[in-house]
Structure 1
Amino acid sequence: MSADTTVPKQGHRLVLVTGPSGAGRSTAINVLEDIGYEVIDNLPLSILPRLLEGPVLDRPLALGLDVRNRDFGVTRLITLIDGLRGDTEHPAEVLYLDCDADVLVRRYSETRRRHPLAPAESAAEGVMRERDLLVPIRSRADILIDTSRMTPHQLRAEIERWFAEGHDADMAISLQSFSYKRGVPHGVDMVMDVRFLANPYWEESLRGLNGQSEEVQEYVRKDPRYDAFFAKTLDLILMLLPAYRDEGKKHLAIAFGCTGGQHRSVTLVELFAKALADHGWPVSIRHREMERRQGDNKLGNSV
């Protein structure tokens, strides 16, 4: 691998690859290199401005960033990500490789490696320390891949699906649910506000459930405005997808928001994902607030 101080031309992908140690970042970097990316791993963040001022490169660039970087800092990385989002010359996206804490601990136990944030302590302490540290970075992910139940082969296929130039004629679609209380997700292309639909939260029997349950989905679908909204929105998305693909877009992120990010938005993501998959589009799902709650519960259980 050559650390040539070059950057992609306008319109070429600049991918920042990060995530907790042991989640598959190195595998992702290797796959990106195999499919034609210029890859620079563990680049000190202080050098990045000079890298971006260098001569252009005629292929996409991937940067591997994690806590092992010499001058890694969450605030510094957040500033970098937020700054690049508005840079038309170097449009960047964040690929975040995540993994359940217990799986990370098991991986460290199997390899007998020391965790970089706990060299003299248990791997479990390092894992929890790093996951907590990276929360604000994770929330800025454009593409989030959970490797907890993935083999290296499956991870390779997933990376290729998202990033391989010319790998597939079809564009990959990411559907995300979120709560407006926590703000609109970073890096999404389209946002749908579904707070006008009937809210299952006010039904006591449904309050503790989420939009992945049939009961909640049935409740939302009974709203008299649901059928027209779903049909017209699906028609709009299906009309736009080929146009975006023909313009060279490799993935499209669509977010559905409601008040709490648990019932209506989750329902719409689940149902739209099925509809788009039935039309032959590759779709991934992310439920931001449910992920937050699961992370908080795991952190609380470990204390």
Structure 2
Amino acid sequence: MSGAGKTTALQVLEDLGWEAIDNFPLRLLASLVDAEAERQAPIAIGFDSRTRGFAPADIIEQCEGLADQSDVELTHLFIDCSDGELERRYNETRRPHPMARERPVAGGIKAERELLEPLRNWAEILIDTSELATNQLQQVMRERFGKSRDREMTVTISSFGFARGLPPLADLLFDMRFLDNPHWVPELRELTGLDAAVAHHIERDPGFAPAFSQISRTLLELLPRYGAQDRGYLNIAFGCTGGRHRSVYSAERAAQVLREAGFSPTVVHRNLGNRPADPLERS
């Protein structure tokens, strides 16, 4: 989608050593791939509704034809964004939407979404930038395309609060709101899942041990299978209501389990810095 972050994505790929080409004439796509066949660097070709000769059906047909060649490997990435966020971005920058013409920005976004729907459904990878800042999109691109397939899968474990929105990129998500909420214990409210007192409170919950044991077995079963499918990345998210207690502790424990199994996960606590707020803590 125009305004979703294609330019940023191409810039990151260029920094990673790809040859990035934007809005390349589609009728020349096969010739470009054939001409670059001997090059070692991969090619990133970006296109949107402004590209000359743009027609989703033709793009899909050309790419599927290229994919049949034994010396060509294709990955299809669609960068999406919610209509409301796209409209906000265009209104903020005062840039004209390429398909708005004489109509409001919302009309151009709607028309473009309908046009691109076949490409969105066809793409192997979808990145939704509705809640991603530019630097976050850059990080996502580096995680997904920065390592070659003969390297270890990048595993990220994150904690978050449901009251503050779902994470946009979770592959596996575990809801820990069935556990007793430390927020309602006055002496634990200002603490987090990194503190021993909160950890002890969560571990005393009779539902924690059996559930976490099952989660651990699931992760240890699935991660090798994801790796066998040439996944370069995997995002695992643990959620609770506010994102400060149960999810944080669970994410840290899961990271410990995976490290003991030989993985090297990165841990990110999205809402750890948020202040506790009673109106958000319903469960």
Shorter-chain-normalised TM-score: which range? 0.5 to 0.7
Q: CA deviation at 1:264?
A: 0.5
TM-score by structure 1 length? 0.55
Gaps of 5+ in 1: 1-14, 20-24, 97-135, 147-157, 295-303
| Aligned counterparts of 1:175 and 1:48: Cα–Cα separation in 2 | 41
For structure 2, the 5+ residue unaligned runs are: 20-39, 67-72, 81-88, 99-104, 276-283
Maintained 8 Å contact 2:77/2:126: no
After superposition, the C-alpha distances for 1:241-271 in whole angstroms (9 at most, x for unaligned) are 1122222322222221111111101111111
Could you tell me which residue of structure 2 aligns to residue 268 of structure 1? 250
1:39 aligns with: 44
Give the 3 Å change call, closer, same or farther, for CA 62–37 of structure 1 in structure 2: farther
> Counterparts of 1:245 and 1:266 in 2: how far apart (Å)?
25
Structure with the greater alpha carbon radius of gyration: 2
Label 1:143 to 1:269 Cα distance change in 2 as closer, same or farther (>3 A). farther
Quote the residue 2:241 is aligned against.
259
Amino acid in structure 2 at the alignment position of 1:38 = I
The answer to whether 1:92 aligns with 2:125 is yes
Instruction: State the Cα deviation string for residues 194-237 of structure 1 (Å, max 9, x = none).
Output: 11112110122221222233332232122222222222211111
2:265 to 254, 279, 283: 283
SS in 1 for 2:235: strand
Cα gap change, 1:91/1:63 in structure 2, threshold over 3 Å: closer, same or farther? closer
Deviations 1:86-128 (A, max 9, x none): 93421334498xxxxxxxxxxxxxxxxxxxxxxxxxxxxxxxx
Cα shift at 1:280? 1.5
Distance 1:201 1:86, change over 3 A: farther
> Using the alignment, how far apart are the partners of 2:51 and 2:139 within structure 1?
27
Query: How far has the Cα of 1:142 moved from its partner?
Result: 8.5
TM-score (norm 2): 0.58
Q: Which residue in the other structure is 1:115 paired with?
A: none
Cα distance in 1 between the residues matched to 2:197 and 2:223: 31
**Which of 200, 206, 211 is matched with 1:218 structurally?**
200
- Measure the CA separation in 1 of the matches of 2:176 and 2:146: 30
**Residues in 2 aligned to 1:278 and 1:265: alpha-carbon distance in whole angstroms:** 20
C-alpha spacing 1:71/1:177, structure 2 compared with 1 (3 Å): farther
The answer as to 2:150 corresponding to 1:167 is: yes
Paired residues, number: 218
Identical counterparts, % of pairs: 24
Given that residues 243 and 270 in structure 2 are in contact (C-alpha distance below 8 angstroms), is that contact kept between their aligned partners in structure 1? yes
CA separation of 1:64/1:264 partners in 2, compared to 1, >3 Å: closer, same or farther?
A: closer
Distance across 1 between alignment mates of 2:171 and 2:53: 27
- Specify the SS of the correspondent of 2:219: helix
Q: 1:224 to 1:235 in 2, by over 3 A?
A: same
Query: How many Å apart are 1:38 and its aligned residue?
Result: 2.2
Counterpart contact for 2:240–2:247, Cα < 8 Å: yes
Of residues 34, 54, 59, the one that matches 2:74 is: 59
SS in structure 1 of the partner of residue 158 of structure 2: strand
* Cα deviation code 1:149-183 (max 9, x no counterpart): xxxxxxxxx94786423231x32222222222244
Provide the rounded CA distance (Å) in 1 between the counterparts of 2:230 and 2:161. 30
> What secondary structure, in the 3-state scheme, does the structure 1 residue paired with 2:249 have?
helix
Supply the AA of the counterpart residue of 1:165: S
Q: Aligned residue for 1:29?
A: 14
Separation in 2, partners of 1:201, 1:261: 11
TM alignment of 1:149-188, pairs within 5 A? 159=142, 163-168=146-151, 170-188=152-170
State the distance in 2 between where 1:62 and 1:32 align: 18
**1:138 pairs with one of 129, 132, 146:** 132
Contact 1:93 1:141 in 2 (8 A): no
What is residue 238 of structure 1 aligned with on the other side?
220
Q: Contact 2:244–2:272 (CA<8 Å) still a contact in 1?
A: yes
Provide the C-alpha distance between the structure 2 equivalents of 1:162 and 1:218, rounded to a whole number of angstroms: 39
Which amino acid in structure 2 is aligned with residue 178 of structure 1? F
- Within 2, Cα distance between the matches of 1:87 and 1:197? 38
Map residues 172-211 of structure 1 onto 2, 5 A cutoff.
172-211=154-193
